[in-house]
Amino acid sequence: MDIEKLIMDTFTEHEHDVPDGDSVYAAARQRIDRGRRVLSPPLAVAAGVIVLTLAAVTFVLVNRSGPADKAQVAAPTNQAPASTSATEPAMAGLPMPYSLGWLPDGKVEYLARRINTGATAEEPDKPVYNGEYMLNVTAGGQVIDIDVQEMKQSPADDAAFKSGPGASVTIDGRHGVESSVSDGPGGYELYLTHPQAGSIYVNVSASAEHGSTVPAQQLIEIGRKVAENVQFPGTTTVTPAFGLGALPNGVKLCAWDVEKGFDTPTEPAGLNTSYELGACTSVRDNLNVGITNKNGPRGTAGQPVQGHETRVIDEGGYTSLWILDAIGDTPILVAGKVPQTELYAIANGLVLPH
Protein backbone atom coordinates (compact mmCIF):
# COMPACT_ATOMS: atom_id res chain seq x y z
CA MET A 1 0.00 0.00 0.00
CA ASP A 2 1.22 3.50 -0.82
CA ILE A 3 1.28 5.09 2.62
CA GLU A 4 1.85 8.62 1.31
CA LYS A 5 -1.22 8.29 -0.94
CA LEU A 6 -3.20 6.99 2.05
CA ILE A 7 -2.16 10.01 4.11
CA MET A 8 -3.00 12.50 1.37
CA ASP A 9 -6.33 10.84 0.56
CA THR A 10 -7.31 10.89 4.23
CA PHE A 11 -6.28 14.53 4.58
CA THR A 12 -8.34 15.40 1.50
CA GLU A 13 -11.38 13.67 2.99
CA HIS A 14 -10.96 15.61 6.25
CA GLU A 15 -10.81 18.90 4.41
CA HIS A 16 -14.42 18.36 3.33
CA ASP A 17 -15.75 16.42 6.31
CA VAL A 18 -14.89 18.86 9.09
CA PRO A 19 -17.31 21.63 8.11
CA ASP A 20 -20.08 19.11 7.59
CA GLY A 21 -19.67 17.52 10.97
CA ASP A 22 -21.55 18.15 14.29
CA SER A 23 6.38 34.92 13.61
CA VAL A 24 7.31 34.14 11.93
CA TYR A 25 7.13 30.89 13.89
CA ALA A 26 6.65 29.16 10.55
CA ALA A 27 10.32 29.81 9.68
CA ALA A 28 11.80 27.73 12.50
CA ARG A 29 10.98 24.45 14.15
CA GLN A 30 11.25 24.29 17.94
CA ARG A 31 11.59 20.66 18.87
CA ILE A 32 10.91 19.13 22.24
CA ASP A 33 14.11 19.08 24.25
CA ARG A 34 13.03 17.45 27.52
CA GLY A 35 16.73 17.26 28.38
CA ARG A 36 17.30 14.76 25.58
CA ARG A 37 18.48 16.75 22.54
CA VAL A 38 17.83 19.97 20.68
CA LEU A 39 17.18 18.26 17.34
CA SER A 40 16.44 14.62 16.61
CA PRO A 41 19.54 12.86 15.27
CA PRO A 42 17.93 12.00 11.91
CA LEU A 43 17.55 15.72 11.18
CA ALA A 44 21.32 15.98 11.17
CA VAL A 45 21.72 12.75 9.21
CA ALA A 46 19.33 13.36 6.31
CA ALA A 47 20.57 16.34 4.30
CA GLY A 48 17.93 18.70 3.10
CA VAL A 49 15.34 17.75 5.68
CA ILE A 50 12.96 20.63 6.40
CA VAL A 51 10.63 20.24 9.37
CA LEU A 52 8.11 22.75 10.55
CA THR A 53 6.54 23.31 13.96
CA LEU A 54 4.79 26.19 15.66
CA ALA A 55 5.10 26.40 19.44
CA ALA A 56 3.02 27.65 22.38
CA VAL A 57 0.65 26.39 25.07
CA THR A 58 -2.93 25.10 24.95
CA PHE A 59 -5.02 22.62 26.89
CA VAL A 60 -6.36 19.47 25.22
CA LEU A 61 -5.49 15.77 25.33
CA VAL A 62 -4.16 13.47 22.64
CA ASN A 63 -6.27 10.41 21.83
CA ARG A 64 -4.76 7.17 23.01
CA SER A 65 -4.42 4.71 20.15
CA GLY A 66 -5.41 1.65 22.11
CA PRO A 67 -6.18 0.46 25.65
CA ALA A 68 -3.34 1.66 27.90
CA ASP A 69 -1.31 2.23 24.72
CA LYS A 70 -0.04 -1.34 24.80
CA ALA A 71 -1.45 -2.95 21.67
CA GLN A 72 -2.07 -0.11 19.28
CA VAL A 73 -3.96 -2.18 16.75
CA ALA A 74 -6.97 0.12 16.54
CA ALA A 75 -7.71 3.71 17.33
CA PRO A 76 -10.79 4.82 19.26
CA THR A 77 -13.45 6.74 17.41
CA ASN A 78 -12.47 10.37 17.44
CA GLN A 79 -14.75 12.30 19.75
CA ALA A 80 -15.62 15.98 19.58
CA PRO A 81 -14.71 18.10 22.62
CA ALA A 82 -17.16 17.76 25.48
CA SER A 83 -18.37 21.34 24.97
CA THR A 84 -19.22 20.83 21.28
CA SER A 85 -22.94 21.08 20.62
CA ALA A 86 -24.92 19.50 17.80
CA THR A 87 -24.71 22.75 15.85
CA GLU A 88 -20.94 23.12 16.11
CA PRO A 89 -18.51 21.40 13.70
CA ALA A 90 -16.46 18.56 15.16
CA MET A 91 -12.69 18.37 14.94
CA ALA A 92 -11.56 15.46 12.78
CA GLY A 93 -8.84 13.17 14.10
CA LEU A 94 -5.47 13.43 12.36
CA PRO A 95 -4.26 10.06 11.03
CA MET A 96 -0.79 8.66 11.61
CA PRO A 97 0.74 6.63 8.77
CA TYR A 98 1.74 3.79 11.11
CA SER A 99 0.94 2.61 14.63
CA LEU A 100 3.10 1.42 17.51
CA GLY A 101 2.04 -2.17 18.08
CA TRP A 102 4.03 -2.60 21.29
CA LEU A 103 5.36 -0.47 24.12
CA PRO A 104 7.00 -1.53 27.38
CA ASP A 105 4.89 -1.78 30.52
CA GLY A 106 4.47 1.45 32.42
CA LYS A 107 2.79 4.83 32.31
CA VAL A 108 2.95 6.24 28.77
CA GLU A 109 3.15 9.97 28.09
CA TYR A 110 3.12 11.16 24.48
CA LEU A 111 5.31 14.18 23.90
CA ALA A 112 4.60 14.55 20.18
CA ARG A 113 2.85 12.97 17.23
CA ARG A 114 3.31 14.46 13.82
CA ILE A 115 3.62 14.17 10.09
CA ASN A 116 6.91 15.87 9.16
CA THR A 117 7.59 17.40 5.78
CA GLY A 118 11.11 16.73 4.59
CA ALA A 119 13.09 16.40 1.37
CA THR A 120 16.16 14.66 0.01
CA ALA A 121 19.40 16.36 -0.92
CA GLU A 122 18.91 15.22 -4.50
CA GLU A 123 15.35 16.62 -4.73
CA PRO A 124 15.14 19.44 -2.16
CA ASP A 125 11.77 20.72 -3.45
CA LYS A 126 9.99 17.37 -3.48
CA PRO A 127 8.19 16.70 -0.17
CA VAL A 128 8.72 13.46 1.70
CA TYR A 129 6.22 12.76 4.49
CA ASN A 130 7.49 11.14 7.69
CA GLY A 131 5.41 10.21 10.71
CA GLU A 132 6.94 10.49 14.18
CA TYR A 133 6.09 9.51 17.76
CA MET A 134 7.95 10.93 20.75
CA LEU A 135 6.99 9.58 24.17
CA ASN A 136 8.28 8.38 27.49
CA VAL A 137 7.41 5.38 29.63
CA THR A 138 7.65 5.47 33.43
CA ALA A 139 8.02 2.17 35.31
CA GLY A 140 9.80 1.10 38.48
CA GLY A 141 10.93 4.64 39.19
CA GLN A 142 12.75 4.88 35.86
CA VAL A 143 11.77 6.94 32.80
CA ILE A 144 12.58 5.68 29.31
CA ASP A 145 12.48 8.08 26.35
CA ILE A 146 11.36 6.63 23.01
CA ASP A 147 11.45 8.28 19.60
CA VAL A 148 10.14 6.46 16.51
CA GLN A 149 10.07 8.14 13.13
CA GLU A 150 10.05 7.40 9.45
CA MET A 151 13.14 8.46 7.51
CA LYS A 152 11.98 7.71 3.97
CA GLN A 153 14.75 9.84 2.51
CA SER A 154 17.49 7.96 4.41
CA PRO A 155 18.21 4.23 3.76
CA ALA A 156 19.30 2.17 6.75
CA ASP A 157 22.85 1.86 5.45
CA ASP A 158 23.20 5.67 5.44
CA ALA A 159 22.70 5.70 9.21
CA ALA A 160 24.90 7.72 11.53
CA PHE A 161 24.89 7.50 15.31
CA LYS A 162 25.62 9.72 18.26
CA SER A 163 27.45 6.91 20.00
CA GLY A 164 29.87 5.87 17.25
CA PRO A 165 29.82 3.21 14.51
CA GLY A 166 26.84 1.00 13.79
CA ALA A 167 26.42 -2.74 13.41
CA SER A 168 24.31 -4.69 10.93
CA VAL A 169 21.24 -6.43 12.34
CA THR A 170 18.18 -8.31 11.05
CA ILE A 171 14.85 -7.65 12.75
CA ASP A 172 11.57 -9.20 11.64
CA GLY A 173 13.32 -10.35 8.48
CA ARG A 174 14.41 -6.82 7.56
CA HIS A 175 17.90 -5.41 7.34
CA GLY A 176 18.87 -2.68 9.76
CA VAL A 177 21.82 -0.93 11.35
CA GLU A 178 21.95 -0.35 15.10
CA SER A 179 24.27 1.58 17.38
CA SER A 180 27.14 -0.49 18.74
CA VAL A 181 27.18 1.45 22.03
CA SER A 182 23.89 1.82 23.94
CA ASP A 183 24.93 2.72 27.49
CA GLY A 184 25.80 6.37 26.75
CA PRO A 185 23.56 9.44 26.72
CA GLY A 186 22.46 8.62 23.16
CA GLY A 187 21.00 5.30 24.22
CA TYR A 188 20.02 2.64 21.69
CA GLU A 189 19.53 3.69 18.06
CA LEU A 190 18.27 1.65 15.12
CA TYR A 191 17.60 2.34 11.46
CA LEU A 192 15.41 -0.50 10.17
CA THR A 193 14.52 -0.85 6.48
CA HIS A 194 11.11 0.77 5.84
CA PRO A 195 8.47 -1.41 4.09
CA GLN A 196 8.11 1.24 1.37
CA ALA A 197 11.30 3.30 1.22
CA GLY A 198 14.14 4.51 3.42
CA SER A 199 14.12 3.47 7.05
CA ILE A 200 12.33 3.55 10.39
CA TYR A 201 14.41 5.21 13.11
CA VAL A 202 14.04 4.02 16.72
CA ASN A 203 15.84 5.67 19.65
CA VAL A 204 15.44 4.37 23.21
CA SER A 205 17.32 5.99 26.09
CA ALA A 206 17.20 6.48 29.84
CA SER A 207 15.78 9.93 30.58
CA ALA A 208 18.62 12.20 31.64
CA GLU A 209 16.06 14.80 32.70
CA HIS A 210 14.69 12.41 35.31
CA GLY A 211 18.07 11.01 36.31
CA SER A 212 17.09 7.54 35.17
CA THR A 213 19.51 4.66 34.74
CA VAL A 214 18.53 1.71 32.54
CA PRO A 215 20.86 -1.16 31.55
CA ALA A 216 22.02 -1.02 27.93
CA GLN A 217 20.71 -4.53 27.21
CA GLN A 218 17.23 -3.50 28.35
CA LEU A 219 17.30 -0.49 26.03
CA ILE A 220 18.37 -2.73 23.15
CA GLU A 221 15.60 -5.24 23.81
CA ILE A 222 12.96 -2.51 24.02
CA GLY A 223 14.17 -0.80 20.85
CA ARG A 224 14.23 -3.98 18.81
CA LYS A 225 10.75 -5.01 19.98
CA VAL A 226 9.27 -1.57 19.29
CA ALA A 227 10.70 -1.69 15.76
CA GLU A 228 9.52 -5.23 15.17
CA ASN A 229 5.95 -4.30 16.06
CA VAL A 230 5.49 -1.10 14.04
CA GLN A 231 2.25 -1.62 12.10
CA PHE A 232 1.46 -0.50 8.57
CA PRO A 233 -0.91 1.04 7.64
CA GLY A 234 -1.59 3.08 10.75
CA THR A 235 -4.86 3.09 12.65
CA THR A 236 -3.87 5.78 15.18
CA THR A 237 -5.59 9.17 15.13
CA VAL A 238 -4.67 12.25 17.13
CA THR A 239 -7.07 14.95 18.34
CA PRO A 240 -5.73 18.46 17.61
CA ALA A 241 -6.27 21.56 19.74
CA PHE A 242 -8.16 23.08 16.81
CA GLY A 243 -9.22 21.82 13.40
CA LEU A 244 -9.24 22.91 9.79
CA GLY A 245 -12.43 23.71 7.95
CA ALA A 246 -13.00 24.09 4.24
CA LEU A 247 -9.80 25.23 2.52
CA PRO A 248 -9.51 27.54 -0.49
CA ASN A 249 -9.19 25.93 -3.92
CA GLY A 250 -5.77 24.39 -4.48
CA VAL A 251 -4.86 24.41 -0.77
CA LYS A 252 -4.37 21.04 0.92
CA LEU A 253 -3.21 19.78 4.29
CA CYS A 254 0.41 18.71 3.79
CA ALA A 255 1.72 18.14 7.32
CA TRP A 256 0.74 18.60 10.95
CA ASP A 257 2.17 18.55 14.46
CA VAL A 258 0.54 17.93 17.85
CA GLU A 259 3.04 18.05 20.70
CA LYS A 260 3.29 18.72 24.39
CA GLY A 261 4.21 22.26 25.36
CA PHE A 262 6.36 23.46 28.20
CA ASP A 263 5.47 24.25 31.80
CA THR A 264 5.50 27.93 32.69
CA PRO A 265 5.61 29.53 36.15
CA THR A 266 1.85 30.08 36.02
CA GLU A 267 0.51 27.36 33.71
CA PRO A 268 1.03 23.60 33.30
CA ALA A 269 2.14 22.21 29.95
CA GLY A 270 -0.58 21.84 27.34
CA LEU A 271 -0.42 20.72 23.72
CA ASN A 272 0.68 22.67 20.66
CA THR A 273 -0.95 22.18 17.27
CA SER A 274 0.24 23.37 13.87
CA TYR A 275 -0.53 22.66 10.24
CA GLU A 276 1.41 23.11 7.02
CA LEU A 277 -0.83 23.88 4.04
CA GLY A 278 -0.28 24.30 0.32
CA ALA A 279 -0.22 22.45 -2.97
CA CYS A 280 1.93 19.76 -1.29
CA THR A 281 4.29 19.70 -4.27
CA SER A 282 7.11 21.70 -2.68
CA VAL A 283 8.45 22.20 0.83
CA ARG A 284 9.27 25.87 0.28
CA ASP A 285 6.12 27.88 -0.34
CA ASN A 286 3.57 26.47 2.09
CA LEU A 287 1.26 28.35 4.45
CA ASN A 288 1.46 27.76 8.17
CA VAL A 289 -1.32 27.70 10.73
CA GLY A 290 -0.65 27.15 14.40
CA ILE A 291 -0.87 28.15 18.03
CA THR A 292 1.69 30.82 18.74
CA ASN A 293 3.20 32.83 21.57
CA LYS A 294 0.93 35.20 23.45
CA ASN A 295 3.46 37.97 22.91
CA GLY A 296 3.78 37.26 19.20
CA PRO A 297 0.93 39.26 17.64
CA ARG A 298 1.97 42.57 16.06
CA GLY A 299 0.98 44.82 13.23
CA THR A 300 -2.36 46.59 12.92
CA ALA A 301 -5.91 45.57 13.73
CA GLY A 302 -7.44 43.44 10.98
CA GLN A 303 -10.89 42.12 10.20
CA PRO A 304 -12.57 40.11 13.00
CA VAL A 305 -12.39 36.32 12.65
CA GLN A 306 -15.15 34.23 14.24
CA GLY A 307 -15.78 37.01 16.76
CA HIS A 308 -12.09 37.39 17.66
CA GLU A 309 -9.95 40.48 17.16
CA THR A 310 -6.98 40.10 14.82
CA ARG A 311 -3.61 41.61 14.07
CA VAL A 312 -2.08 41.58 10.59
CA ILE A 313 1.25 42.58 9.08
CA ASP A 314 2.67 42.31 5.56
CA GLU A 315 6.46 41.92 5.40
CA GLY A 316 7.56 41.97 1.79
CA GLY A 317 4.67 39.85 0.60
CA TYR A 318 4.80 37.43 3.54
CA THR A 319 1.64 38.11 5.52
CA SER A 320 0.96 37.11 9.13
CA LEU A 321 -2.56 37.08 10.56
CA TRP A 322 -3.04 36.53 14.29
CA ILE A 323 -6.41 35.48 15.69
CA LEU A 324 -6.37 36.82 19.25
CA ASP A 325 -7.62 34.70 22.17
CA ALA A 326 -8.47 31.87 19.77
CA ILE A 327 -7.88 29.16 22.40
CA GLY A 328 -8.35 30.65 25.83
CA ASP A 329 -6.04 33.66 25.80
CA THR A 330 -3.68 32.07 23.26
CA PRO A 331 -3.57 33.31 19.64
CA ILE A 332 -3.44 31.31 16.42
CA LEU A 333 -1.16 32.46 13.59
CA VAL A 334 -2.08 32.03 9.92
CA ALA A 335 0.87 33.01 7.71
CA GLY A 336 2.16 32.67 4.19
CA LYS A 337 3.14 34.32 0.95
CA VAL A 338 -0.44 34.61 -0.28
CA PRO A 339 -3.08 37.35 -0.50
CA GLN A 340 -4.71 38.37 2.78
CA THR A 341 -8.06 37.17 1.45
CA GLU A 342 -6.75 33.61 1.40
CA LEU A 343 -5.48 33.86 4.98
CA TYR A 344 -8.84 35.17 6.13
CA ALA A 345 -10.64 32.37 4.27
CA ILE A 346 -8.56 29.78 6.13
CA ALA A 347 -8.94 31.60 9.47
CA ASN A 348 -12.72 31.89 9.19
CA GLY A 349 -12.96 28.17 8.46
CA LEU A 350 -10.95 26.99 11.47
CA VAL A 351 -12.72 24.74 13.94
CA LEU A 352 -12.04 26.34 17.33
CA PRO A 353 -12.88 24.83 20.74
CA HIS A 354 -15.62 26.55 22.69
34 contacts: CB under 8 Å, gap ≥ 6: 111, 136, 145, 207, 209
pLDDT exceeds 50 at position 353: yes
Q: Which of 64-73, 221-230, 275-284, 294-303 has the lowest mean pLDDT?
A: 64-73
Rounded Cα distance between 275 and 334, Å, is 9
pLDDT tier at 47, thresholds 50, 70, 90? very low
Upper half-sphere CA count for residue 103 (Cβ side, 13 Å): 30
- Per-residue model confidence as pLDDT tens digits over 210-269: 989 999 999 999 999 999 999 998 999 999 999 999 999 889 999 999 998 765 544 555
Cβ neighbours around 9 below 10 Å, total: 12
The pLDDT, as a whole number, for residue 236 is 95
pLDDT exceeds 80 at position 53: no
Q: In the chain, pLDDT over 90 holds for what percent of residues?
A: 55
User: For the whole model, what pTM was predicted?
Assistant: 0.76
**Between residues 261 and 7, which one has the greater pLDDT?**
261
Cβ neighbours around 172 below 10 Å, total: 13
Q: Which of 38-47, 146-155, 283-292 has the lowest mean pLDDT?
A: 38-47
237-238 and 174-179: which strand pairing? unpaired
pLDDT exceeds 50 at position 42: no
**Between residues 268 and 182, which one has the greater pLDDT?**
182
Find which of 33-47, 49-63, 99-113 is predicted with most confidence, using mean pLDDT.
99-113
The pLDDT, as a whole number, for residue 76 is 26
pLDDT exceeds 60 at position 25: no
**Between residues 80 and 324, which one has the greater pLDDT?**
324
pLDDT exceeds 70 at position 150: yes
- Burial, 298: exposed, middle or buried (Cβ in 10 Å; 0-12, 13-18, 19+)? exposed
The pLDDT, as a whole number, for residue 347 is 97
